[in-house]
Structure 1
Amino acid sequence: MQWVPLIWLAVALALAGAEALTGDLFLLMLSGGALAAAGSALVFDELWIDGAVFAVASILLLVLVRPAIKHRFIQGRGLPEPVKALEGKSAVVLDKVARHEGQVKLEGEVWTARPLNDDDVYEPGDHVTVMHIDGATAVVFKGL
């Protein structure tokens, strides 16, 4: 029964491929169970043992691993987006910042800028704080 591990491996690959269509992580956990069964098929020569390994590994992955991974995806942990890291940073006004014009130097780079409040005007040399990034424009405020 040397072909049994290959069948389990094919099942694992098919399940992993099908997971790409669903994105729910359910089929991926079953794929992990099939990989475990392929490993057990190399060691044991009994098909029922392979089935039991598949069932136990799949259930453990579904109950223990899948919720943690889904929580991590939903929570969105990871490195912050580069533009999010610029929020709260100090910048120097290079060209007058008004409603429809302006440039600031931020982290060594020149950014297009506009004031947080449309009526505010900042002159060259003013120090401002980046409130948020709107596309390629730094929205700045003087007063923090």
Structure 2
Amino acid sequence: MEPIATALTIGQLAAGVGVNVETIRFYQRRGLLREPPRPPGGIRHYSAEDVARVKFIKSAQRMGFSLDEIHHLLRLDEGMQCDAAAELAAQHLNDVRTRLQDLHRIEATLAKLLEQCRQGDEKVACPLIAALHEDEVGAPY
């Protein structure tokens, strides 16, 4: 991949980091990315710092952080507050582990219902559909 220039248009920034122009605008509306000033009669230019910031946002999203959490992490990064960032990450890890437990429970329930469907008699209601009607699938919601 070629190095990205330091005076980029919004389109060049978006293409350089692999997102849509509307994604850049969305990040700006959410306060995750600055909107550079527009010179009179000119176009806005983005810097290498903006490239790094969008890459950070995308990386954090891949880790499952919400945009609100990413906003908080970006503010912490500006102040080098590792303890606070670690606390946020620990909370996120706890949330991920809880979701994994929920997914394992859902997986086990679905596997059980699917097995009942396969062993079922065509003359009785499908166990999966019956369980969904009765809200017995054990979902965490």
User: TM-score, length-normalised on structure 2?
Assistant: 0.33
Structure with higher Rg: it is 1
The structure with the largest strand share of the pair is 1
The structure with the largest helix share of the pair is 2
